[in-house]
Amino acid sequence: MTETMQTSALGASHLTSSRLAYGCWRVAGTWNPAEVTDASRAAGRRAIIAAYEAGYTLFDNADIYCGGEAERILGEVLKQVSGMRDRVVLTTKGGIRPGGDPRPDSPGRYDFSAAYITAACEQSLRRLDVGTIDLYLLHRPDYLADPEEVARAFSQLKAAGKVRHFGVSNFRPTLLTALQVTCPMPLVAHQVEISMAKLDAFTDGTLDQCLIERITPMAWSPLAAGLIGGGATRLLPSQKTYRTDLFLPTLDAVAEARGVSRTVVALAWLLKHPAKIQPIIGTINPDRIREATKAAALDLTREEWYRLLVAARGEPVP
């Protein structure tokens, strides 16, 4: 039996999902497939089930998460939990080719060729052990991306019933526009890093475009890889320079006044935006998974929101 959470539409699609999404990049317990153990797989399954029972209905994955093991673990849970597949929005990403593929000297790169997109999606379907992916995203922009070729791959996958809806991740707004004007279907989601420690989306046109085009912005690392919540692990190189010290005292003051944790306030701060940002929660700690859901019910005032923005900026608004 699952809890309920506020829901919202995903872009211009018929899909609706919980205001918070659950991200599966940590569920294998490691980035190296050779290090996955029975215990780490079991912990990952427990985390996914905890998220489902807490009311999360969008589960985000990617083919590069632990070399596909994260997709396999999610697929195991979909089979284990009766009725889950029909109640969730299954999301995964592709388009990143690791070094050594297909030859030992091949560099790590991005590949939006029609053949690679199609093959990557089909491999994800096999690992997830499902017939259809609800939302398929291109993971990071390919410098050689040809919008017409991408549109052809998307159309083929949709016509074959393998994908229902499409989106992108980490794109420049201009590249998203180039792809959207070519694709015959609406792109319904844009996954990008957004948090109080990473404010670019507010000023680089990303959120403006989401409002204009009815695209759902999905915020990965909404707690700055745990730096905001106090459980930071596996930081990306760029995240090691984040200045959370600028805003944590203000965040704590708002949290104390509201009687909630700083995690809840930081997530509610994202949820306040009219573009309907969907934070992706990546912890595998069941207590933290459940705690995050409180953000969906917390409506910050404009004054609280701007007090936190000024603190995050480290200076007044212009």
3-state secondary structure of 230: coil
Q: How far apart are the first and last CA of the chain?
A: 48
DSSP 296: G
Residues 167, 143: Cα–Cα separation, whole Å: 17
Three-state SS letters, 178-199: HHHCCCCCCEEEEEEECECCEC
Contacts of residue 283, Cβ cutoff 8 Å, sequence gap at least 6: 26, 47, 226, 229, 231, 289, 292
Report how far residue 29's alpha carbon sits from residue 271's, in angstroms, rounded to the nearest whole number: 28
Given 22, 52, 65, 116, the catalytic residue: 65
For residue 311, what are the contacts with CB-CB under 8 A and spacing of at least 6? Answer: 246, 247, 249, 250, 251
Buried b (16+ CB within 10 A) or exposed e, 292-303: bbbbbebebeee
Q: Is 65 a catalytic residue?
A: yes
Q: Which residue has the tokens 């093959």?
A: 119
- Residues serving a catalytic function are 65
